[in-house]
A and B are shown apart, each in its own frame.
Chain A
Amino acid sequence: MVGLGLLVAVAGLVLVVTLSTGAAPSDARRTADLAAELRCPDCQGLSVADSPTTSAREIRRQIGELVAGGASDDEVRAHFVARYGEWIRLAPSGATPWLIPFGVLLTGLLALGAWLLRRPGGPPTTAPPTDAQRRAVRDEAEALDA
């Protein structure tokens, strides 16, 4: 009887944990994710999450504070962009910057295609000899044999 009660309790706990992590990320998770998105101001190419500097530590603390205070992810990002500019974000916002390389690639492929199609003459070809030319060759060969 006690065993069954324990089983139900554990199952309930597992269910609650699964639902809570599945429904919305925890504050700690969001803080860590946001810290990984922001650039450490006094490092070279490190995120706030990866850096041990005083600024990084303080920014992590502020993210935690903002998240706990009910700020959305975008509000937290905006808080630091207002101070450092877009530079503070390790990845650019919006889809446009990500599409540029594909645009360049497509332009290059189109240019290559256009160039190949426009090349004069197309692939090199040799016209088959005319009957007169065949006859001339045959006559010459016969003359040599003779």
Chain B
Amino acid sequence: MRALRWILVPLLVAPVAWLLFQGFGRDPREIASPLLGQPAPAWSLTTLDGETVSSAELAGRPYLVNFWASWCIPACVDEHPVLAAAHERHGDELTIVGVLYQDDPDDARGFLSRYGDAGYPHVIDPDGRLAIDFGVTGPPETFFVGADGMVRYRQFGPLSEPRMAELLPLVLPVAIR
């Protein structure tokens, strides 16, 4: 009986303690997206320059959908050069689309003139409908969509250079550095 107790108590306590401890280091919103492996939501939106871009135009090509906002500081400021560099390096085979998340277009233009406009389009999402279709809970969030139109990954929070290098092979046929 005594020996059993020495086995049973840690057996019951350890998993609970582990579960509670895990909770400290996590953001409760960082949940697996149900979109993974599913077709990316379809959209057709107007860019900051007044042009129309749609998901249909991007069919057959991998793309990143990056939800951001000018008020998302410092996370969106930190990841901005990472996205710009990815566009610079892989712009030929990969499209990056910025989506304004509950942001004023003028504030977004101000952000881009301050931190640099990398040249990829930024679309205005009135009423946040696309954000809802992607299940976005707050910027920045980036969805990696494969050439087959399927969502391959959701990055919750800012993308760093190493993270981007790790994730790009999910949508690009050859891992390029």
A: residues with CB less than 8 A from B are 41-42, 53-55, 57-59, 61-62, 81-85, 87-88
- Classify the interface of chain B: helix, strand, loop or mixed: loop
Contact A84 B102 (CB under 8 A): no
With A54-B128, A57-B127, A58-B129 already in contact, the answer to whether A83 and B102 are too (CB < 8 A) is no
Q: Does B46 contact A (CB under 8 A)?
A: no
- Classify the interface of chain A: helix, strand, loop or mixed: helix
How long is the Cα–Cα vector from A82 to B132 in the complex, in angstroms? 10
Q: Does B29 contact A (CB under 8 A)?
A: yes
Most buried by B among A61, A62, A84: A84
With A41-B137, A42-B137, A53-B102 already in contact, the answer to whether A87 and B31 are too (CB < 8 A) is yes
- What are the 8 A-B residue pairs with the smallest beta carbon separation, nearest first? A83-B135, A84-B135, A58-B127, A41-B137, A85-B34, A87-B31, A54-B128, A55-B128
Contact A42 B138 (CB under 8 A): yes
Contact B131 A85 (CB under 8 A): no
How long is the Cα–Cα vector from A87 to B34 in the complex, in angstroms? 10
Q: Does B136 contact A (CB under 8 A)?
A: yes
How long is the Cα–Cα vector from A62 to B127 in the complex, in angstroms? 11
Contact A83 B128 (CB under 8 A): no
Chain A minimum-CB-distance residue to B136:
A41
How long is the Cα–Cα vector from A53 to B79 in the complex, in angstroms? 25
Residue from the list B31, B32, B35, B131 in contact with A55, Cβ < 8 A: B131
Residue from the list B31, B127, B133, B138 in contact with A85, Cβ < 8 A: B31
Contact B34 A83 (CB under 8 A): yes
Contact A82 B137 (CB under 8 A): no
Q: Does B155 contact A (CB under 8 A)?
A: no
With A54-B127, A55-B102, A58-B127 already in contact, the answer to whether A83 and B31 are too (CB < 8 A) is no
Chain A minimum-CB-distance residue to B102:
A54
Given contact pairs A54-B102, A83-B134, enumerate 15 new A-B contacts (beta carbons under 8 Å): A41-B131, A41-B135, A42-B102, A42-B138, A53-B102, A54-B128, A55-B132, A57-B127, A58-B127, A58-B129, A61-B127, A83-B133, A84-B31, A84-B34, A85-B135
